[in-house]
C-alpha cells in the first residue's frame, strides 16, 4: 500500500521474479507489469484494480506461502485499498525516498489503522536524486505518529546506492544491477566507513525492541553484544504484530536492490494467519457474538471482498477464508441473503490468470465461481454454524456524469455494462435522473469515471456521449415541522382518499442514515395495512429533496394521526399522500444544500506559496495547515469539490509546473446561501417536473 507512484507494482514485479513466479521482470512504464494486467493500467502506468497472487519464499529452512495484493495508489480507487486491508494480515507500506510521506500515504496508513493491520515500511527509490532514508523515517514518526525502527541502513544513496546493511545480522548486502538474476547480491562485511553508524543504529534498534521484552532488556543492559539475531527477530516480530514498532527497510526496486531482504522481513515480522486472533462476528439467527479460530477444524467462514468479471470464467468472487475449509463443487451459506450457494470451482489467482484448486482453507485468499448472489462484504459460512463478519465501509461517490450511448441500439448493452461495473465497485453508482431521464453515473473522481467510460467502450462495446462532470450535492433538513396533508381525487368510479398528520425533520443522531419512521397513530385512525405505504411514500420521496431535487441522506418522520375512507382509501393513496406531504413539509423544515468538501494538499516551492494560497482562497478554500517538506512547502486546505474542477491545469500555470497537488473527500458541508441559490435556480426545471410527476 502506498501513495501513487511510490513503486508498489514495480516492487511486486520483483517479488514475482525472485519467488520464481515469473521468468522475467515486467516493467510498469513499458506496460509489461503482470500485476497491472488491465489495458487501462498498462497504457497509463497506474494501478486501478487490486490484483492478487500467491508466491512462495524460502526463509531459513522453510518455504512459506505469501498471498499478495498489489493495491492502487490513486485516491479515486481507494475502495481497492479499503477492501484489501480488510482481509490482509499485514502490509508493506511503501514510500518514495524523495517524496516521503505523501497525502495518500497518510490515507492508506489510516485505513490500515482502522483494520489494525501490522505493517513494515519500505523506502523505495533510494537511487533517485534527493533520496533520504532517515528523513522518510522521521516523517513517518512526525506525520503518521508511528514508531519507525530502521532494521537496515542504506549503503550509498542516489546513483551511488549499492545495497543495504542488515542490522539484525550485522552484514552488508551488495547488489549488482542485473535484472535477469535472482541472487543478484553478495553478502559481505559492513564497509569500514559505515561501521560506526551501523553499530549505533543497531544499538538503537535493539533498545527499541527490548523495551517490550523484560528478559531482553536485562540482557541489553548487562551485555548488549550477547543478544543474538534470533532474539532480536523474535522480539521484533512481537512488536510488529502488536503494532508498537514499524520495522523500516529501504531499497530501489527498479534497480533491483533490497527486495529479497524485504521478502525475508515479511516472513520474519508480519503475522501469519495463525498469529491473528480468532475473528469475531455474530450469529444472524440469534444475534449472539461468535468467533472462529484460524483453523481448518473450525466451521467454515470467509469474507467476500471483491467481485470481478472475467471474460472466460465469468463472475469471480474473491474470498478470504478465516476458518474451516471449502471444497470446489460443494455448498456454502450466505448469511446476508440467507441462501445456500453452490461453488462450482475455486481458483488461486495470479493477477488475471486462474489456477484451479480443489479446496480453500483457513488463512487463504482465493476466487470462487458458480455462485448466484454474492456481493462485496458478504460472509460465506457453514449453514449449521452461521456467522456474519464485520464488512467494510466505503466512501460515497461525489462526482456525477450524465451518459448516453452514441447509438440508441446500444441502450441495452449500456445497461448491462453499467450493472456489471457497479457490482464490481461499491464506490460506483448508476441512477436515472427523474427529470431528464438521463443516466447519471457517479464515482470518486474524474479519473474514476474516465476509466469507467473507457471500460464501457472496450469491454462492453458501447461508445458514450457524456456531459460535464457535476458535483453530487445532497440536501438536509435542519428543523422539525408538523404538516397535515390530504390527498383526494374523485374520478368516475371509486375515488382516492388519504389524510395524514406527521412531523418531519432531521434525525437526532448524526450517524443516522435513511428514513427513521415512527408510527404513533392511535385508535386505528389509519388502518395498520396502510402504514407501510406511508413509509414507502416518504422513503421514495427523500431520494429527491424538495429544494433542488438532491438526495436527503437521513430524516425522521413521526406519523401522528390521519383519516381514511372506507371505500376510497387504498395503499397507493397513502403512498402518494406521503410523497406530496413530504414535498411541502420539507420546504418548511429549513432545508439546506450540502456539498462535498475535499482535503487538498499542495506541495509547492516557497516562492509560489502566496499564489497557491491566494488561488485556493478564491475557490472558497480554507487553509487548514502549512508544513515544510525538504525545501518545499506543503499547503493543506479544505475546498469545495465544485471549485476544484480543472485545478491541476491552473496550478501548473501559477507555479510553472513545479507544484503537485492531491485531494480526497473529507465531508459534506452546507453551501453558503448565495451558492445555494444558484444551485436551486439551476435545478428549478428539474424539480418542477418531479412535482408534476
Ligand X SMILES: Nc1nc2c(ncn2[C@@H]2O[C@H](COP(=O)(O)OP(=O)(O)OP(=O)(O)O)[C@@H](O)[C@H]2O)c(=O)[nH]1
Q: Which residues are annotated as a binding site for GTP?
A: 2-9, 70-74, 124-127
Q: How far apart, in whole angstroms, are the C-alpha atoms of residue 653 and residue 633?
A: 18
Rank residues 2 and 398 by Cβ distance to ligand X and give the closer one: 2
Q: Which stretch binds ligand X (CB under 6 A): 68-76, 84-92, 404-412, 551-559?
A: 68-76
Q: Is 28 in the site for ligand X (CB under 6 A)?
A: yes
Rank residues 73 and 100 by Cβ distance to ligand X and give the closer one: 73
Rank residues 76 and 341 by Cβ distance to ligand X and give the closer one: 76
Residue of 6, 209, 578, 613 interacting with ligand X (CB under 6 A): 6
Q: Is 9 in the site for ligand X (CB under 6 A)?
A: yes
Q: Is 68 in the site for ligand X (CB under 6 A)?
A: no
Rank residues 5 and 664 by Cβ distance to ligand X and give the closer one: 5
Cell triple for 587:
420546504
CA 115 to each of CA 83, 317, 663: distance values in angstroms, whole numbers, following the listed order: 10, 21, 23
Q: Which of 348, 361, 367 is nearest to 21 (CA)?
A: 348
What ranges in 94-157 are assigned the alpha helix state H? 103-114, 133-144
Least distance between ligand X and beta carbon 66 (Å): 18
Q: Is 155 in the site for ligand X (CB under 6 A)?
A: no
Q: Which stretch binds ligand X (CB under 6 A): 39-47, 400-408, 521-529, 601-609?
A: 39-47
Least distance between ligand X and beta carbon 257 (Å): 8
* Closest residue to bound ligand X by CB: 73
Q: Which stretch binds ligand X (CB under 6 A): 4-12, 183-191, 318-326, 474-482?
A: 4-12
Rank residues 448 and 474 by Cβ distance to ligand X and give the closer one: 448
Asked whether the CA dihedral 394, 400, 402, 405 is positive or negative, the reply is negative
Rank residues 176 and 331 by Cβ distance to ligand X and give the closer one: 176
Rank residues 253 and 472 by Cβ distance to ligand X and give the closer one: 253
Helix axis angle for 229-241 and 195-210, nearest 10°, is 50
Q: Which stretch binds ligand X (CB under 6 A): 121-129, 212-220, 443-451, 513-521?
A: 121-129
Q: Is 5 in the site for ligand X (CB under 6 A)?
A: yes
Q: How many residues bind ligand X (CB under 6 A)?
A: 24
Q: Is 46 in the site for ligand X (CB under 6 A)?
A: yes
E strand residue ranges, 112-235: 119-124, 148-150, 152-155, 163-166, 171-175, 185-188
CB 368 within 8 A of CB 346: yes
Q: Which stretch binds ligand X (CB under 6 A): 42-50, 536-544, 554-562, 612-620?
A: 42-50
Residue of 19, 22, 34, 47 interacting with ligand X (CB under 6 A): 47
Contacts of 657 (CB under 8 A, 6+ apart): none
Least distance between ligand X and beta carbon 675 (Å): 34
In sequence order, what DSSP letters do the residues of 512-572 get, joined into one string? --EEEEEE---TTSS-GGGHHHHHHHHHHHTTS-TTTSPPB-EEEEEEEEEE--TTT--HH
Q: Which stretch binds ligand X (CB under 6 A): 2-10, 60-68, 576-584, 612-620?
A: 2-10
Q: Which of 254, 44, 9 is nearest to 128 (CA)?
A: 254
Q: Which stretch binds ligand X (CB under 6 A): 40-48, 314-322, 380-388, 446-454?
A: 40-48
Least distance between ligand X and beta carbon 600 (Å): 19
Rank residues 7 and 596 by Cβ distance to ligand X and give the closer one: 7
Cell triple for 598:
475535499
Rank residues 28 and 235 by Cβ distance to ligand X and give the closer one: 28
Q: Is 539 in the site for ligand X (CB under 6 A)?
A: no
Q: How far apart, in whole angstroms, are the C-alpha atoms of residue 330 and residue 235?
A: 42
Q: Phi and psi for 339 in degrees, rounded to 5?
A: -125, 155
Q: Is 2 in the site for ligand X (CB under 6 A)?
A: yes
Q: Is 8 in the site for ligand X (CB under 6 A)?
A: yes
Rank residues 273 and 443 by Cβ distance to ligand X and give the closer one: 443
Q: Which of 674, 644, 673, 676 is nearest to 661 (CA)?
A: 644
Residue of 34, 67, 105, 253 interacting with ligand X (CB under 6 A): 253
Rank residues 86 and 128 by Cβ distance to ligand X and give the closer one: 128
CA 674 to each of CA 200, 475, 593, 619, 681: distance values in angstroms, whole numbers, following the listed order: 61, 16, 11, 14, 11
Residue of 76, 80, 82, 127 interacting with ligand X (CB under 6 A): 127
Residue of 10, 323, 439, 662 interacting with ligand X (CB under 6 A): 10
Q: Which stretch binds ligand X (CB under 6 A): 43-51, 303-311, 340-348, 578-586?
A: 43-51
3-state secondary structure of 444: coil
Least distance between ligand X and beta carbon 46 (Å): 3
Q: How far apart, in whole angstroms, are the C-alpha atoms of residue 243 and residue 233?
A: 15
**Neighbouring-strand partners of residue 632:** 629
Least distance between ligand X and beta carbon 643 (Å): 26
Specify the DSSP class assigned to residue 161.
Answer: -
Rank residues 175 and 550 by Cβ distance to ligand X and give the closer one: 175
Rank residues 92 and 117 by Cβ distance to ligand X and give the closer one: 92
x-or-dash pattern for ligand X, window 223-252, by CB under 6 A?
Answer: -----------------------------x
Q: Is 89 in the site for ligand X (CB under 6 A)?
A: no
Q: Is 100 in the site for ligand X (CB under 6 A)?
A: no
Q: Is 4 in the site for ligand X (CB under 6 A)?
A: yes
Q: Which of 78, 38, 118 is nearest to 444 (CA)?
A: 78
Q: Phi and psi for 129 in degrees, rounded to 5?
A: -60, 130
Q: How far apart, in whole angstroms, are the C-alpha atoms of residue 237 and residue 231?
A: 10
Contacts of 559 (CB under 8 A, 6+ apart): 500, 501, 502, 517, 518, 519, 520, 521, 526, 531, 534
Residue of 83, 86, 119, 128 interacting with ligand X (CB under 6 A): 128
Residue of 22, 34, 38, 73 interacting with ligand X (CB under 6 A): 73
Specify the DSSP class assigned to residue 382.
Answer: B
Least distance between ligand X and beta carbon 112 (Å): 16
Rank residues 51 and 389 by Cβ distance to ligand X and give the closer one: 51
Annotated binding site: 2-9, 70-74, 124-127
Contacts of 662 (CB under 8 A, 6+ apart): 4, 75, 102, 103, 104, 600, 601
Cell triple for 97:
525516498
HEC assignment per residue over 567-626: CCCCHHHHHHHHHHHHHHHHHHCCEEEEEEEEEEEEEECHHHHHHHHHHHHHCCCEEEEE
Place of cell 522453510: 62
Residue of 83, 119, 125, 474 interacting with ligand X (CB under 6 A): 125
CB 411 within 8 A of CB 405: yes
Q: Which stretch binds ligand X (CB under 6 A): 120-128, 136-144, 399-407, 503-511?
A: 120-128
Q: How far apart, in whole angstroms, are the C-alpha atoms of residue 265 and residue 227?
A: 19
Q: Is 25 in the site for ligand X (CB under 6 A)?
A: no
Q: Which stretch binds ligand X (CB under 6 A): 8-16, 154-162, 376-384, 410-418?
A: 8-16
Rank residues 80 and 643 by Cβ distance to ligand X and give the closer one: 80
Q: How far apart, in whole angstroms, are the C-alpha atoms of residue 290 and residue 298?
A: 12
Cell triple for 25:
521482470
Binding site for ligand X (CB under 6 A): 2, 4-10, 28-29, 45-47, 72-74, 124-125, 127-128, 252-255
Amino acid at each position: 500500500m502506498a501513495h501513487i507512484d511510490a513503486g508498489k507494482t514495480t516492487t511486486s514485479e520483483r517479488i514475482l521474479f525472485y519467488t520464481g513466479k515469473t521468468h522475467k521482470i515486467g516493467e510498469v512504464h513499458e506496460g509489461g507489469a503482470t500485476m497491472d494486467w488491465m489495458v487501462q493500467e498498462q497504457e497509463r502506468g497506474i494501478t486501478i484494480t487490486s490484483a492478487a497472487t500467491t508466491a512462495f519464499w524460502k526463509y531459513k529452512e522453510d518455504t512459506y506461502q505469501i498471498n499478495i495484493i498489489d493495491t492502487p495508489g490513486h485516491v479515486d480507487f481507494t475502495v481497492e485499498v479499503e477492501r484489501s486491508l480488510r482481509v490482509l494480515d499485514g502490509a508493506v507500506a511503501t514510500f518514495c525516498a524523495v517524496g516521503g510521506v505523501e497525502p495518500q500515504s497518510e490515507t492508506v496508513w489510516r485505513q490500515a489503522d482502522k483494520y489494525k493491520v501490522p505493517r513494515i515500511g519500505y523506502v523505495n527509490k533510494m537511487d533517485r536524486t534527493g533520496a533520504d532514508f532517515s528523513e522518510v523515517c522521521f516523517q513517518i514518526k512526525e506525520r503518521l505518529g508511528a514508531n519507525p525502527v530502521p532494521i537496515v541502513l542504506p549503503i550509498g544513496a542516489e546513483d551511488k546506492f549499492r545495497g543495504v546493511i542488515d542490522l539484525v545480522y550485522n552484514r552488508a548486502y551488495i547488489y549488482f544491477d542485473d535484472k535477469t538474476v535472482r541472487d543478484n547480491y553478495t553478502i559481505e562485511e559492513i564497509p569500514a566507513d559505515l561501521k560506526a553508524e551501523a553499530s549505533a543504529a543497531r544499538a538503537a534498534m535493539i533498545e527499541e525492541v527490548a523495551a517490550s521484552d523484560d528478559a531482553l532488556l536485562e540482557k541489553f543492559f548487562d551485555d548488549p553484544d550477547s543478544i543474538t539475531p534470533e532474539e532480536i527477530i523474535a522480539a521484533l516480530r512481537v512488536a510488529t504484530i502488536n503494532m508498537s514498532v514499524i520495522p523500516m527497510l529501504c531499497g530501489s526496486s527498479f534497480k533491483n536492490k533490497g527486495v529479497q531482504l524485504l521478502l525475508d522481513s515479511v516472513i520474519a515480522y508480519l503475522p501469519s494467519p495463525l498469529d491473528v486472533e480468532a475473528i469475531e462476528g455474530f450469529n444472524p439467527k440469534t444475534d449472539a457474538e461468535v468467533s472462529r479460530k484460524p483453523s481448518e477444524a473450525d466451521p467454515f467462514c470467509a469474507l467476500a471482498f471483491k467481485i470481478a468479471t472475467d471474460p472466460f470464467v465469468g463472475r469471480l468472487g474473491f474470498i478470504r477464508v478465516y476458518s474451516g475449509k471449502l471444497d470446489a463443487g460443494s455448498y456454502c451459506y450466505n448469511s446476508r441473503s440467507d441462501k445456500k450457494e453452490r461453488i462450482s470451482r475455486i481458483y488461486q489467482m495470479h493477477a488475471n490468470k486462474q489456477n484451479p484448486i480443489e479446496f480453500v482453507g483457513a488463512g487463504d485468499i482465493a476466487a470462487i465461481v458458480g455462485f448466484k448472489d454474492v456481493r462485496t462484504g458478504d460472509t460465506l459460512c457453514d449453514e449449521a454454524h452461521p456467522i456474519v463478519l464485520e464488512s467494510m465501509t466505503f466512501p460515497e461517490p461525489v462526482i456525477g456524469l450524465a451518459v448516453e450511448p452514441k447509438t440508441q441500439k446500444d441502450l441495452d448493452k449500456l445497461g448491462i455494462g453499467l450493472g456489471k461495473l457497479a457490482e464490481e465497485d461499491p464506490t460506483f453508482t448508476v441512477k436515472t435522473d427523474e427529470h431528464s431521464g438521463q443516466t447519471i453515473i457517479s464515482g470518486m473522481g474524474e479519473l474514476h469515471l474516465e476509466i469507467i467510460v473507457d471500460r464501457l467502450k472496450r469491454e462492453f462495446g458501447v461508445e458514450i456521449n457524456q456531459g460535464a462532470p457535476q458535483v453530487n450535492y445532497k440536501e438536509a433538513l435542519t428543523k422539525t415541522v408538523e404538516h397535515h396533508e390530504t390527498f383526494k381525487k374523485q374520478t368516475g368510479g371509486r375515488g382516492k382518499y388519504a389524510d395524514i398528520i406527521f412531523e418531519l425533520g432531521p434525525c437526532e443522531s448524526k450517524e443516522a442514515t435513511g428514513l427513521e419512521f415512527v408510527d404513533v397513530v392511535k385508535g386505528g385512525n389509519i388502518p395498520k395495512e396502510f402504514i407501510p405505504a406511508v413509509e414507502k411514500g416518504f422513503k421514495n420521496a427523500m431520494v429527491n429533496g424538495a429544494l433542488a431535487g438532491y438526495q436527503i441522506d437521513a430524516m425522521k418522520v413521526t406519523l401522528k394521526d390521519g383519516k381514511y375512507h372506507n371505500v376510497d382509501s387504498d395503499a397507493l393513496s397513502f403512498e402518494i399522500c406521503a410523497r406530496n406531504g413530504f414535498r411541502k413539509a420539507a420546504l418548511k423544515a429549513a432545508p439546506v444544500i450540502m456539498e462535498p468538501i475535499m482535503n487538498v494538499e499542495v506541495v509547492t516551492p516557497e516562492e509560489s506559496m502566496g499564489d497557491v494560497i491566494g488561488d485556493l482562497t478564491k475557490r472558497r478554500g480554507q487553509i487548514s495547515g502549512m508544513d515544510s517538506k525538504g525545501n518545499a512547502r506543503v499547503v493543506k486546505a479544505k475546498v469545495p469539490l465544485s471549485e476544484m474542477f480543472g485545478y491541476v491545469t491552473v496550478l501548473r500555470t501559477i507555479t510553472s509546473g513545479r507544484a503537485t497537488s492531491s485531494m480526497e473527500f473529507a465531508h459534506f458541508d452546507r453551501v453558503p446561501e448565495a451558492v445555494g441559490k444558484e444551485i436551486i435556480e439551476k435545478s428549478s426545471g428539474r424539480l418542477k417536473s418531479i412535482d408534476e410527476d
